[in-house]
Amino acid sequence: MREARARLDRRHWLEPAGWAATLAVAGILLAVFFAYHRTAQDERQVAGTVESADWRLNDETGHVYPFIEVKLDDGSSVRVGGAAPVLPAVGDRITLRARPLLFAYMTVYEWDGPEQISGATLTQASAP
């Protein structure tokens, strides 16, 4: 008798109202987690010295893109992405945007170009 009563008590999970409420709560918790994570992982500014900078050719598309390697102030060397129209000179100090991705598993560094062009040696991209 107790076993039959226990089975009847568990049957409410088989009804749509039981699992729909559970899914709704799980969805809300997931949305709150992602909203918190996106606001907690803001971009930050980091500075470094340019180790190498040149234009590379993408073999598949035929477009040139900047390939910049920077040594950050903390000693680590990183590759910098972005669509800067010019390259900095080797040895220039530049400021990068650091964005954490994949739950801070990896960080993307971007440089948007020179803020002040005076006194910097810049090279334009040329078509191959």
Residue 90: the pLDDT is 92
Tens of pLDDT, residues 1-16: 667 666 666 665 566 6
User: Which of 4-13, 56-65, 92-101 has the weakest average pLDDT?
Assistant: 4-13
pTM of the complete model beyond 0.75: no
Residue 52's pLDDT is 93
- Each domain of the chain, given as residue ranges in start order, spans 2-40, 44-124
Long-range contacts of 100-104 (CB under 8 A, 24+ apart): 100/41, 103/37, 104/41
pLDDT of residue 68: 92
> In which element (H, E) is residue 105 found?
none
Please provide the average confidence, as pLDDT, over all residues in the chain: 78
The CATH architecture to which 44-124 belongs is Beta Barrel (2.40)
Which pLDDT does position 26 carry in this prediction? Answer: 87
